Amino acid sequence: MSRRPRVAPAPPGVNRRIILSFLVSAAGATGFAVTYGLGGQTQWEGVCLAVAFAGLAIGLAIWGRRLVPVGGYVEEHEGFAPPPDEQARTAAALTAPDSPIRRRGLLATLGLALTALGVAALFPLRSLLPWDRARPVRARTDTPWGPGVRLVTADGRPLRPADVPAGTVVGVFPEGATDAGDGPAFAVRLWPERFTRSPSAGHLDGLVVYSVLCTHAGCPVRLYLKGTGRLLCPCHQSSFDLFADARPVAGPAARPLPGLPVEVDADGHLRATGDFTAPPGAGFWSRP
C-alpha cells in the first residue's frame, strides 16, 4: 500500500529567500578568503565563516521545508529496491515543471555557495605548505627597522637627541610602523665613562637604543633604575645592565637586549643605520 507524495504549495517569495540565503553564504565565504589573504584577523574570519555556514543552512532548510514533497510511504518491507511504479512516480515528480530541483536559480546559487566555501577552505592550506620553512625565524629577524628609518614617539613625532635627557628612558618606534609588534624600542642617555662593556650597536655621546622586548618571554622591559643603570622586566624579574650592553644579570633571561644602531641626520633627527643586532623578543625564536 502506498500513497502519492504530496507537494506543498510554495508560498510566494520562497525562491527569492533561498537564493538570497545562498548568495549570503557565498559572500561570507568570499569575505573569509579575502580576510585570510590580507593577513588574517581571527574575529572577522570567524564572523565570515559563521555567515557562510548560516546562509547555506538557512537556504537548505527553507528548500527542504517548502519545496520538497512532504508525506511518506507506508508499505510492507519487500526489499531495498523500490517497485517500478514508485520509481516512475519519483521520476515524474523530479522532472515535473514544479520540481524542487528545476526551480530557476536554486541549483545555480547552491553551487555558487558550495564553490565559494570550497575555495575559501583552500586558503588556510597555504599556511601548511612548505613553501618557506624558515619563515617563522626570518619573521623574527627582519623587523621594520632598517637604514634610514627615523625614530619617532608613539604619536609619530620624530625624535632628536635633545629629546632624550640624561638618565631618562624614552619609548621609540620605527616611523610608519608604530604598531609593529617587534618594533618597539627605547632610547636612554647614559654616562659613557661608566660603560663596562661597549654597546654592540654603538652610542651617540652616551645615547643608546635597545629593543624593549625581554629576551626571556617577550614582555616589555620598562622599569628603569637610574642609579644602577639596570632595566627590570616586570613579568619574571629579569634584570639587564645597560652599562654592560644590556647584558642579563638576574632572572631567567639568557640573552642581552638587542641594540639598534642610530645616527643623527642632516635635519637633526635620529635615524637607524640598520636593524637590531639580534632577533628581538623571546630567545627560543633564534634557535635552529
b/e per residue 52-86 (b: at least 16 CB within 10 A): beebbebbbebbeebbebeeeeeeeeeeeeeeeee
Query: Average pLDDT for residues 14-20, to the nearest whole number?
Result: 88
Which of 9-23, 110-124, 131-145, 185-199 is modeled with the greatest confidence?
185-199
- Residue 247 — φ and ψ, nearest 5°? -75, 140
Is the predicted pLDDT of residue 79 greater than 70, yes or no?
Answer: no
Beta pairing, strands 239-241 & 247-250: antiparallel
Is the predicted pLDDT of residue 141 greater than 70, yes or no?
Answer: no
Q: Are 200 and 277 in contact (CB under 8 A)?
A: yes
Cell numbers for 153, please give them. Answer: 614617539
CA–CA separation, 243 and 193 (whole Å): 9
Instruction: Tell me the pTM.
Output: 0.55
Is the predicted pLDDT of residue 58 greater than 90, yes or no?
Answer: yes
Nearest CA to 62 among 103, 94, 95, 31?
103
What is the pLDDT, as a whole number, of residue 1?
A: 46
Question: Between 53 and 75, where is the model more confident?
Answer: 53
* Residue linked to cell 625564536: 285
